[in-house]
Amino acid sequence: MSETTDRNGTGPAAARDERQTTAVIGSAGGRRIGGGRRGGRRPGGRRKHGPGAEQQMVPEAEFTSYYGRPIVKPSPWEKDIPIYLFAGGLAAGSSLLAAGADLTGRPALRRTGRFGALAALSVSMVALVHDLGKPSRFLNMLRVAKLTSPMSVGTWILSIYGPFAGAAAAAEAVAMLPPGRRVGPLRLLPLLHRPAGLMAGLAAPPVAAYTAVLLADTATPSWHAAFKELPFVFVGSAAAASAGLGLVGAPVAETGPARRLAVGGAVLELAAEQQMERSMGITAEPLHEGKAGRLMRAAKALTVVGAIGAAVSGRSRALSALSGAALMAGSACTRFGIFEAGQASALDPKYIVVPQRERLAREGPVRYEE
């Protein structure tokens, strides 16, 4: 029940806010946006930490709302969904690494990639089904194929990718059995070894990218506003995480490509994230505040440390593995941070009213034009 009320913005915390916003409402009849501070709403905005005083970089937004209550609903998703986003990216990147390792003769990296992909895929499936409540509900998604629904498209992408990733991992497991134990149909699996692995690698990139569309195709302000750069943040994050797994699981003699992928992924993720915040306007604010802010800062630190570690730890297995773990943790923090920022942005009507008012002032109402 307490969850119910909080989600509707009617819990005790929201009640406190409501009283404050009533003061703004009280003088309604006009709207004041972008002006000075009043109404005493909680201080928002990015802060610059300098010597001495804190300086507010984004001025407090003035806006009118209905007793401070949310306008859009936050998604009802819980931590299952960021886990799903992270695991999906990890699986996709791992399949790519495994395919490359297979083609270039790096058996340990290939094994790590294939087993990692299957494990991550299983985690993401469990998270998804847990979110839906019962497994049979997943089947309802297979009733239709809808191009306008990223969730439907994603389900089909996974349905193509999953069997290949599974077959590649199974072939890998069979190859580890002593020849005498490969009986019956198991004898056929080695035939699938390379084709399944390559198909999984080809089907993997969409798995990593579609989750960005999944979040962006909503009315959640901080997700929708990020739609241009979010796919790049997510594929960068997927590359960094899977390269991290490669560093953890394979000996240093085989991890050259994983190191390069780690650095490339981390650079892409950080650069795209930077660009994304610039283009998001006021809806970038939740990425710096509260839980989301802490997660995003952790993500940045872990990714930077992990990438540097990956680049320099060439001869030490232990250091490589540590860098790899940091990269995976960084990727997970990115997913959780962006998820939380979106949820927070949906609960504050400011992130709906202010950008729409700014757009109205700039371009007038959105209207269809031939």
Partner 1 sequence: MIGGKNSLFGPVDATANSGYGDDHPPRKGFFTDTSICIGCKACEVACKEWNDVPADHFDMTASSYDNSHSLNANQWRHVAFIEQPKRLGAQDPGLRAPQVTDLGMPTARPSDTLTVEEGEQTDDTKPDFRWLMSSDVCKHCTHAACLDVCPTGSLFRSEFGTVVVQDDICNGCGYCVAACPYGVIERRRAPDGAKNVGIAQKCTLCYDRLGAGQTPACAQACPTESIQFGDVEELRERASTRVAQLHEAGIMDARLYGNDPEDGVGGAGAFFLLLDEPEVYGLPPDPVVTTKDLPQMFNRASTAAFTLLAGAALAFVGRRR
d(CA 177, CA 93): 26
Amino acid letter at 369? E
* Antiparallel, parallel or unpaired: β 47-49 and 54-56: antiparallel
Residue 174 or 212: which CB sits closer to partner 1?
212
Q: Which of residues 128-147 bind partner 1 (CB under 8 A)?
A: 131-133, 137-138, 140-141, 143-144, 146-147
3-state SS assignment for residue 49: strand
Query: Helices 290-312 and 317-347 sit at what angle, rounded to 10 degrees?
Result: 160
CB of 52 to partner 1, least distance (A): 37
Asked if residue 10 binds partner 1 (CB under 8 A), the reply is yes
Question: How many helices and strands in the chain, by DSSP H and E?
Answer: 13, 2
Binding-residue pattern over the window 321 to 350 for partner 1, x denoting contact by CB under 8 A: -------------------------x--x-
| CB 269, CB 233: distance < 8 Å | yes
- Site size toward partner 1 (CB under 8 A) is 107
Of the two residues 99 and 321, which places its CB atom closer to partner 1 in the complex? 99
Among 39, 47, 119, 218, binds partner 1 (CB under 8 A): 218
Residue 6 near partner 1 by CB under 8 A: no
70: alpha, beta or left? (left if phi > 0; alpha if psi -120 to 50): beta
User: With respect to partner 1, which residue has the nearer C-beta, 56 or 218?
Assistant: 218
Q: Measured from the CB atom, is 46 or 69 closer to partner 1?
A: 69
Instruction: Pick the piece of the chain touching partner 1 (CB under 8 A) from 179-187, 301-309, 327-335, 358-366.
Output: 358-366
Q: How far is the CB of 55 from partner 1 (least distance, A)?
A: 29
Using rule CB under 8 A, residue 219 touches partner 1 = yes
Tokens of 119: 């494990």
Nearest to 120 by CA among 241, 236, 10: 241
Shortest Å distance, C-beta 285 to partner 1: 18
Q: At 58, is the secondary structure helix, strand, or coil?
A: coil
Q: Does residue 57 touch partner 1 according to CB under 8 A?
A: no
57, 188, 253, 312: which one contacts partner 1 (CB under 8 A)?
Answer: 253
Kindly provide the b/e burial profile for residues 195-206, where b requires at least 16 CB atoms within 10 angstroms of the residue's own CB.
ebbbbbbebbbb
Nearer to partner 1, 174 or 226 (CB): 226
Q: Is 48 in the site for partner 1 (CB under 8 A)?
A: no
- In three-state secondary structure terms, 288 is helix
- Backbone φ and ψ for 313, nearest 5 degrees, come out as -90, 30
Question: At its nearest, how many Å lie between partner 1 and the CB of residue 217?
Answer: 5
234 is a site residue for partner 1 (CB under 8 A): yes
Task: Decide: 66 and 25 in contact? Cβ < 8 Å.
Answer: yes
- Asked if 275 is part of the footprint of partner 1 (rule: CB under 8 A), the reply reads no
If one asks whether residue 191 binds partner 1 (CB under 8 A), the answer comes out as no
Under rule CB under 8 A, residue 111 binds partner 1? no
Indicate which single residue of 86, 115, 164, 232 sits in contact with partner 1 (rule: CB under 8 A).
Answer: 232
Measure the CA–CA gap between 25 and 34, rounded to whole angstroms.
16
Residue 56 host element (H or E): strand 54-56
- Backbone dihedral angles phi then psi of residue 48, each to the nearest 5 degrees: -105, 130
Contacting partner 1 within 255-274 (CB under 8 A): 256-258, 260-261, 264-265, 268
User: Of 152, 166, 186, 275, which one interacts with partner 1 (CB under 8 A)?
Assistant: 152
Picking from 81, 26, 85, 37, the residue whose alpha carbon sits closest to that of residue 59 is: 37
Q: Is 208 in the site for partner 1 (CB under 8 A)?
A: yes
Q: Is 40 in the site for partner 1 (CB under 8 A)?
A: no
Q: Choose the binding region for partner 1 from 160-168, 188-196, 214-222, 296-304 (rule: CB under 8 A).
A: 214-222
